[in-house]
Amino acid sequence: MAKPVSIEVWNPNGKYRVVSTKPMPGTRWINLLIQNDCRLEICTEKKTILSIQDIIALIGDKCDGVIGQLTEDWGEELFSALSRAGGKAFSNMAVGYNNVDVDAANKYGVAVGNTPGVLTETTAELAASLSLAAARRIVEADEFMRAGLYDGWLPHLFVGNLLKGQTVGVIGAGRIGSAYARMMVEGFKMNLIYYDLYQATRLEKFVTGMLPLTYGAFLKASGETPVTWKRASTMDEVLQEADIISLHPILDKTTYHLVNKERLSKMKKEAILINCSRGPVIDETALVEHLKHNPMFRVGLDVFEDEPFMKPGLAEQKNAIVVPHIASASKWTREGMATLAALNVLGKIKGYPVWFDGNRVEPFLNENARPPAACPSIVNAKALGLPSSKL
């Protein structure tokens, strides 16, 4: 028998029982659920990551839907428990769902929601922040000051890299990769080289297209050297030419350890590598060795191969900036993610159709209007035969 876990209950007499495995930012998501006759139970256990048995205890004998987190292992055991409790809805409070066995969800007829369309700019902003922090050695300098070691200006003290006129490389020029590229091109006048299976036409036009409002045209009109773009034919071409490389691929069998010992060796000695995508995209053990032997090579990481753990030796490298998976951690974004996750579960409970485009979610985030009667994003909608909204 599963051990009981502590919860906070909202609207105890609600018709539908919805469980959230963690407290989430904001209150709008709570209000939307209780206004639609849901009894909401929020787990308040003082544990960062809940076990499968913890979540089974939360689900109990009757549960209509669960809002979960990407740190949880949602597979056969949990979807079976949710199905036995009468539940047909689960949503990650995340855009990614590598923690979810979608086939198991399909087997039990459970809709799996996620929260795209709300993380693009905030994730790109963190990647840009890590790029600047690594280039100008901000974290090292901060630690130096706090240790009381500064006793006067020196010509060689924490000399870093100038970004203007350098080349930024992007691996994966989707929404987040393209947003990051625009920030680096426009913010620091960097040239762009990118690799993607698909041509990023809008990004290319932004840099040097024929439209009068492109950034290249603006620089030229201002008497400055225009920036350039290049679509690489291979990923290695980006690694060899770029001064800063930011990784934005999906994680699958083809991108596991995409950056390994061999590819690290192809990068410039003073290059900067940024990863705000998925930890296993980088062979972290190989990265630690590369950092040890190349002190002017720098890295900024928001994700890790064996998260929440780092590979041995990484924390000791002064040329590594490491932050705890905070790419989406802006107030607006996290509150929006909570709202979208709640509406995915609520929509399935109510029998609403699936929104026509999971990346165009602004109508769900408008706090001054009632959200559309739809599930914002269900990743297995086609497999379950769920209808699509025509709104």
Provide the angle, in degrees to the nearest 10, between the axes of the packed helices 331-350 and 28-35. Answer: 20
3-state helix vs strand vs coil in the chain, percent to 5:
35, 15, 50
Q: Which of 28, 231, 257, 325 is catalytic?
A: 325
Strand partners, 33: none
Strand partners, 369: none
Neighbours of 89 (CB within 10 A): 25
CA distance linking residue 94 with residue 378, whole number of Å: 12
Q: Which of 45, 125, 186, 307 is catalytic?
A: 307
Q: Which of 263, 278, 290, 334 is catalytic?
A: 278
Task: Name the nearest CA neighbour of 189 among 162, 167, 165, 213.
Answer: 165
At 110, list the tokens: 């459970």
Give the list of residues 6+ apart from residue 188 with CB closer than 8 angstroms, or none.
Answer: 163, 164, 166, 168
CA distance linking residue 338 with residue 357, whole number of Å: 18
**b/e map of 50-86 (b: 16 or more CB within 10 Å)?**
beeebbbbbbeeebbbbbbbbebebbeebbebbbebe
Type and span of the H or E element at 300: strand 298-301
Q: Based on the residue annotation, tell me whether 307 is a catalytic residue of this protein.
A: yes
Q: Based on the residue annotation, tell me whether 334 is a catalytic residue of this protein.
A: no
Phi and psi angles of residue 39, each rounded to the nearest 5 degrees, phi first = -85, 115
Which of the residues are catalytic? 278, 307, 325
